[in-house]
Amino acid sequence: MDAIQPASEIFDSLSKLGLTQNESRIFLYLAQNPGSNGYEISKNTGISRSLVYGALEKMRAGGVIELTQTKSSSYLLKPLPEIRDTVNHGIGQAFDELERQLADMKPLPADELFVTIQDRMQQRAKLAYMIKNAKKMLFISAGINELEWIHKDLQQVPPFVAVHIFSLSKLSDFPPHFQLHSKGMEESFIQSLGNLKARWRILMIKDRSEMMLCGGDEQHSGTAIYTKNNMMVTFATEHFVHDVKISNIERNYNISDYTENLFNEYSPENSCGESEKR
């Protein structure tokens, strides 16, 4: 029988659980051949017997597999829900111990740092973490397409957290306790504006203590900046409140906004055009 070559997707998942390459191959072999012994696993995976037995013992101690006596020293995978509970319990214990060990340390203040996040999945994870851990308020400025990125996370925000969302786009399908500040523009109209076309941005302020700004030319590229810098958080908060205030004044007094026209001549496209004319 040919050696087992795990599919890359499954291998990646097992690697994230802390399994080595050999342990992952053994895991997959036992998933297909429960009740195999060390000799059979070694023969059919191509892993040496000494490495197989070492990996099996480690996996058994880690709560991934169990020993059965239906045959001499044969092994079974535990059910996935049981493995999940074991892993979660172990991670919880490790974090409890880590918190205890770090409790007496006094790190230098880090509130002045600006963290740059390039990876899209890490940006998404950071925003989700901020939403999940908000205690008092969330201020969010974004378009409807950008809000789709975090929509599921926002649905889980408890009512005691004040959520204010400002957007040029029409907003709908948010919990009733959210405060929505929408300028009611159609997405097609927003994308027709030179300075906004194919651009995206999410500004999130959590508890007036930290903020994150993601942006780029499209939703699949760009950079995010995260900081607890008090001056920047205050500036971003005032900017958000200002946007909401101006929008409310325009709505209440039926004021038309032509600001975009004032700055179109400074857009990159027009700047290039002026250079060519010269």
Q: Is 219 helix (H, G, I), strand (E, B) or coil?
A: coil
pLDDT of residue 264: 59
pLDDT of residue 261: 63
pTM: 0.61
Distance CA 88, CA 107 (A): 28
Distance CA 200, CA 215 (A): 6
Question: Which has the closest alpha carbon to 31: 62, 59, 51?
Answer: 59
Distance CA 106, CA 155 (A): 36
Whole-number percent of the chain with pLDDT over 90: 38
pLDDT at 17 over 50: yes
What confidence tier does 110 reach under pLDDT thresholds 50, 70, 90? low
The residue with greater pLDDT, 163 or 266, is 163
pLDDT of residue 188: 56
Mean pLDDT is lowest, of 85-99, 178-192, 222-236, for: 178-192
Query: Dihedral of the CA atoms 195, 125, 129, 86 (nearest 10)?
Result: 170
Distance CA 204, CA 130 (A): 9
The whole-number average pLDDT for the span 121-150 is 91
Distance CA 67, CA 210 (A): 50
Backbone dihedral angles phi then psi of residue 106, each to the nearest 5 degrees: -120, 90
Query: Dihedral of the CA atoms 36, 41, 45, 49 (nearest 10)?
Result: 180
pLDDT of residue 187: 63
pLDDT at 219 over 80: no
Distance CA 146, CA 150 (A): 8
The whole-number average pLDDT for the span 85-96 is 86
Distance CA 154, CA 124 (A): 13
Cβ-in-10-Å burial (0-12, 13-18, 19+) of 274 comes to: exposed
Which tokens sit at 255? 């004021």
Q: Which residues pair with 33 in a beta bridge?
A: none
